[in-house]
Amino acid sequence: MNKQELKEYLAKTFPTTTIEENTDFVVMRINKDELLAIASQLKQNKETLFDFLFCQTAVDYQPELEVVYMLRSTTFQHEVELKVTLTERDNANVDSVTSVWKAAEFFECEIFDLFGIKFNGHATLRRLFMPEDWPGFPLRKDYQDENVITR
Amino acid sequence: MVNNSEQFHLVDITTGIHEWLYANLSSGLALTAELLLVAVSMITLVVVTAIIMVYMERKVAAFMQIRLGPNRVGFWGTLQAVADVLKLMMKEIVTPKAADRFLFALAPFLVTAVSFMALAPISFAPGIQLWDVNIGVLYISAVTSIGVIGVLMAGWSSNNKYSLLGAMRSGAQIVSYELSAGLSVLAIVVMVGSLSVNDIVVSQANGWWIFKGHIPAIIAFVIFIIASTAELNRAPFDLAEAESELTAGFHTEYSGMKFAMFFLSEYTNMFVACMLGATLFLGGWQPFYIGGLDGFNHVMDFIPGIIWFFGKTFSLVFLIMWFRWTFPRLRIDQLLKLEWKYLLPISIVNVLIAAFITLAGWHF
Amino acid sequence: MELTNPKLEVNEPDEEFVINVGPQHPSTHGVLHLEIKLDGEQVLDVKPNLGYIHRGIEKISESLSYKQFTYLTSRMDYLSAHINNQGCALVVEKGLEMEIPERAKVIRILMAELTRIASHQLWWGALGLDLGAVSPFFFAFREREEILEVFEETCGYRLTMNYITPGGVMQDLHPEFVPKVKKIMAELKNTMKEYDRLLTGNIIFQKRTQGVGILTKEDLVSLGITGPIARASGLSCDVRKHSPYEGYEKLDFKEILATTGDSYTRYLVRLEEMKQSIYIVEQLIDNIPEGPYREKTKAVIKLPKGEFYQKVETARGELGIYLVSDGGSKPYRLKYRTPNFSNLQALKPMVIGSKIGDLVAIMATLDLIIPDIDR
């Protein structure tokens, strides 16, 4: 499906989400409680078949954190971007999608390491790059460190 | 065939020394002097060939890899091996605290002693042989087998589980490939009819066994070269010492002079294996004749036997070095499978073929 | 998580032991620390510990301008430096909606394909070295050296190229570029036959790589793996074919696919890719259009508010650059979706159940660059 058809199909199939569009992708904004259900549906739905998670990251829009998922279908070659907004900074958590796409395992470890977002249901959540006892989460905008030069 | 009076014979020099000693000294003293002379000359031979082989290995490797190799120390890098030996002598010998001190110290000596012992029955030139024993070839095979004990001793006494793993793998490999090596030697012994090294060389006066013995000799030669490379722990069979993900082999914990002895014994073993190969298959010190071309044969006679012998040995050494820089490594299970499933059955059948050909008189 | 081919039988739990491979190690191609749980010779589990070369590239980029941040990407997958820079330049140009001159596009493709060839050559040499054949390393570097000399003449660098920037390329091609590259391509076609004789046809090499480290298509789709590894197992994922950029749609080249998915197939796929890259270079080298080599950009580039994503095909897979801009002169958030980060996850299903002696062969055909994983 091309971008326009995909947008319409997703708006019809997932009415609880908000569908937008940017330069590259069709964007679906999802509530964090519905994430796992919608993710599984996106993977199994015969029209979409989003089976390839090629990027998962987080962005710190002060004050909220946003987790971004980018999916592709290897059969239809269409792509979609999912966004989940988290409002709590101190105890940010969201469901893990490792049961749907195994690629999420390392992506979520990285997000946990650098942003401090916990993923419920992740089997081996650990800090990937920083040492285990590093204070703080480096990629947050309010991260302070005397070695970090702020301009 | 051979006009002996025109050739240079090393045995003339040695008989001359022998007679001079016995004429001028009492017989006990002359014997001692002779023994000392022989010991010194053997040690010199081993050391000089080791130095030549170390230099050769580095230059051969370099030229095969489109680079120059050592070319700074001495003319064309010839003194590089001397520099290496000096460095190893000056290094501190570290013994791990919990290592078995006696065995740890004994292992390198055992391995080196065994390599020297194997030189005794080898015939370098007509008349030059330390010990003409009637079981020469069997003696060499038996003595080189003792080297495995030194390897296992080194791995065990290092008190390092990775050294032990490497030593066990090395040990398993050496013991397995000894079978094929021994059987390929046996094929030639069957055709000659004697275990004595001198008899084997003399029997090749009318042609080298690799030509006379045709099929069984060629198969035996190929298996002998493969089995010797495996016994020496050289590539492509060097998984035990180059297995960079687990261990550096049984000699991980050794440094300085003790490591130098392992290093020396590896090259001496390679030299002994190639000498054995040259003796059994390539005619020892016999020149290369083409039947019927008398002029060619006359020229071949002028080259002394000792030059022939060392020429053949060093060409086999070059062949083994060539393998190292060309082939990737075999995995340990593929290595052992090669021996037990392929080489051993082939060598057994080969001995039978050799026996049959000898009985039927179908060799030249 | 269910794997598609579980083939373990653990006999006694107390016979397991853990060994550490790395971080300093001759065969891991970088600082990668693997904790391997073994039961005798069989591998039970692999846990990579990362972060030894984490330099915080994403965080640093948030304080650099749009012209500066491309320099850091040359240091991520340093063997595909031109391609990384190309991705960054493309994402900024997408944000600015800028069209670059034709000459610049062709030069970029030429540099990218030469980089791909050089990267695969180093991979080939290192593969031989890991498996015990020392000589291929020198032969691979002999040809790679010529390509690096060509780079040095035009770009000034041999490894961390800073040549492709938003707007075009930094400088015009050196006058000797075209004849030299033609000569190199002609020689390379002959030396690739040497590569085949030395390693591909060698029975010891085949026995060590055939049937070893099989990766199934279901596993790799679920793990998000791209690049020659995915193509060797049957997944068609070449970015140059599916989302072509910069003129790749006009070129004639094949995407190499295979189905077996073992180490030997990955090896053959990469060798074929080298040949395809040589073919692309030959198509372009005589037809470089004349014209300017860069488009003038403002001194301070400001991208409009929004998000932009660009994917390019590096020598190891799909590199994705996700740029979030808040309208200012510095990126608000820059995320690099690096191919090696995902490809590292392929290690586990390939290695589990096989022997420790196969680990080196599998890692060699996986072709990981660790700074790309850690950024």
A84-96: per-residue pLDDT in tens? 998 888 888 888 8
Residue A56 lies in a domain: yes
Whole-number Å distance between alpha carbons of C306 and C56: 23
By CB atoms closer than 10 A (0-12, 13-18, 19+), residue B171 is middle
Is C358 in the B-facing interface, judged by CB distances under 8 Å?
yes
Is the pLDDT at A33 greater than 90? The verdict is: no
Task: Enumerate the residues of chain C whose CB falls inside 8 A of the CB of residue B330.
Answer: 204, 207-208
Q: Quote the number of domains for chain A.
A: 1
Domain that holds residue B278: 94-360
Identify which has the larger pLDDT, A100 or A148: A100
| pLDDT at residue number C2 | 40
Inter-residue contact C173 to C154 (CB < 8 Å)? yes
Domain that holds residue A39: 3-93
C178's tokens: 């075209």
Whole-number Å distance between alpha carbons of C257 and C270: 10
Pick from B245, B327, B330: CB nearest C356: B245
Pick from C27, C199, C204: CB nearest B245: C27
Whole-number Å distance between alpha carbons of B260 and C200: 37
CB atoms within 10 A of CB C180: 17
Nearest to B3 by CA among B291, B203, B208, B300: B300
Asked if C357 lies within 8 A of B64 by C-beta distance, the reply is no
By CB atoms closer than 10 A (0-12, 13-18, 19+), residue B88 is middle
pLDDT digits (tens, 9 = 90+) for A52-111: 898 899 998 888 888 999 998 888 888 889 999 988 888 888 888 888 888 888 899 999
Is A51 in the C-facing interface, judged by CB distances under 8 Å?
yes
- State the chains in contact with B (3 or more Cβ–Cβ pairs under 8 Å): C
Taking the CA of residue C142 and the nearest CA in chain B, the distance in Å comes to 9
Whole-number Å distance between alpha carbons of B233 and B250: 11
Nearest to B229 by CA among B220, B241, B237, B217: B237
Residues of chain C with pLDDT under 50: 1-11
Inter-residue contact B327 to C134 (CB < 8 Å)? no
* Chain B 84-123, residues with CB within 8 Å of chain C CB atoms: none
Asked if C54 lies within 8 A of A130 by C-beta distance, the reply is yes
Task: Enumerate the residues of chain C whose CB falls inside 8 A of the CB of residue A23.
Answer: 94, 306-309
Using CA coordinates, name the residue in chain B closest to C358: B331
CATH number at residue A21: 3.30.460.80
Is A134 in the C-facing interface, judged by CB distances under 8 Å?
no
Asked if C51 lies within 8 A of A128 by C-beta distance, the reply is yes
Q: Quote the number of domains for chain B.
A: 1
pLDDT digits (tens, 9 = 90+) for B148-162: 898 888 888 888 777
- State the chains in contact with C (3 or more Cβ–Cβ pairs under 8 Å): A, B
β-pairing verdict for A52-61 and C33-39: unpaired
Task: Enumerate the residues of chain B whose CB falls inside 8 A of the CB of residue C142.
Answer: 66
Is B178 in the C-facing interface, judged by CB distances under 8 Å?
no
Is C308 in the A-facing interface, judged by CB distances under 8 Å?
yes
Residues of chain B with pLDDT under 50: 1-3, 245
Is B61 in the C-facing interface, judged by CB distances under 8 Å?
yes
Return the residue in C257, C324, C338 with the most chain A beta carbons within 10 A, the one to mutate for interface testing.
C324
Q: Any idea which residue has 């999420």 for tokens?
A: A104
Pick from A25, A105, A129: CB nearest C345: A105
| pLDDT at residue number A149 | 61
Asked if C25 lies within 8 A of B244 by C-beta distance, the reply is yes
Is C56 in the A-facing interface, judged by CB distances under 8 Å?
yes
| pLDDT at residue number C59 | 87
CA distance to A42, B297, C268, C361, per residue, from C367 (Å): 32, 58, 13, 10
Give A8's pLDDT tier (boundaries 50, 70, 90).
Answer: confident
Task: Enumerate the residues of chain B whose CB falls inside 8 A of the CB of residue C15.
Answer: none
Q: Where do the structural domains in chain C lie, given as residue ranges? A: 58-367
Is B6 in the C-facing interface, judged by CB distances under 8 Å?
no
Task: Enumerate the residues of chain B whose CB falls inside 8 A of the CB of residue C131.
Answer: 328-329
Return the residue in B161, B244, B321 with the most chain C beta carbons within 10 A, the one to mutate for interface testing.
B244
CB atoms within 10 A of CB C326: 13
Pick from C19, C27, C132: CB nearest B329: C132
Q: Which amino acid is present at B199?
A: D
Whole-number Å distance between alpha carbons of C61 and C70: 9
| pLDDT at residue number B3 | 47
Residue B46 lies in a domain: no
CATH topology of domain C58-367: Cytochrome-c3 Hydrogenase; chain B (1.10.645)
Whole-number Å distance between alpha carbons of C57 and C52: 14
Is B243 in the C-facing interface, judged by CB distances under 8 Å?
yes
Residue A42 lies in a domain: yes
Q: What interface predicted TM-score (ipTM) does this complex get? A: 0.90
| pLDDT at residue number A64 | 86
Q: Any idea which residue has 């049961």 for tokens?
A: A99
Nearest to B84 by CA among B232, B204, B256: B256
Give the alpha-carbon dihedral of A4, A9, A14, A18, to 10 degrees.
10
Contact call for A and B: 3+ CB–CB distances under 8 Å: no
| pLDDT at residue number C117 | 92
Residue B334 lies in a domain: yes
Asked if C342 lies within 8 A of A103 by C-beta distance, the reply is yes
Average pLDDT of chain C, as a whole number:
86
